Amino acid sequence: MAEDSQEQQPEPSQEELLAQLEEEFGKLKVADVLVQTVFTISSLGYRSLGEDHRDLDQARLAIDALRALVPVLKDAVSGDVARDFDQVVANMQLAYAKATRNEPPPEE
């Protein structure tokens, strides 16, 4: 019966969807988006350092982006989160250094 009541509800109009979206954006903070961005960049960066998907240019870009974003967030997040982000950057830099030692030199 629960399915019947869901099927009978009309689709929201474009105006209703827009109003819901604007309400959600009203709750969102720039810091929230930046924190999610740090998580996303770090995930992509670590993936780029893996043997299966190694792309050191992308890993370097991720490290540079994190080095730019993390200091900006220090006053917007708790001290524990800021330390965790610093540790992510440090760990990724170490993994990058290890990956570059294992890479053959580029051909010229």
Q: Which candidate, 102, 100, 104, 77, places its Cα nearest to that of 88?
A: 77
Q: Is residue 1 helix, strand or coil?
A: coil
* Residue matched to tokens 């959600």: 24
Cα separation, 71 vs 84, in Å, equals 12
Which residue do the tokens 């827009």 mark?
18
Residues 41-78 pLDDT 10s: 999 999 999 989 899 999 999 999 999 999 999 999 99
Question: In the chain, pLDDT over 70 holds for what percent of residues?
Answer: 88
Sort residue 103 into left (φ over 0), alpha (ψ -120 to 50) or beta. Answer: beta
**pTM, full prediction:** 0.74
Question: What's the pLDDT at 83?
Answer: 96
pLDDT level of residue 4 (50, 70, 90 thresholds):
low
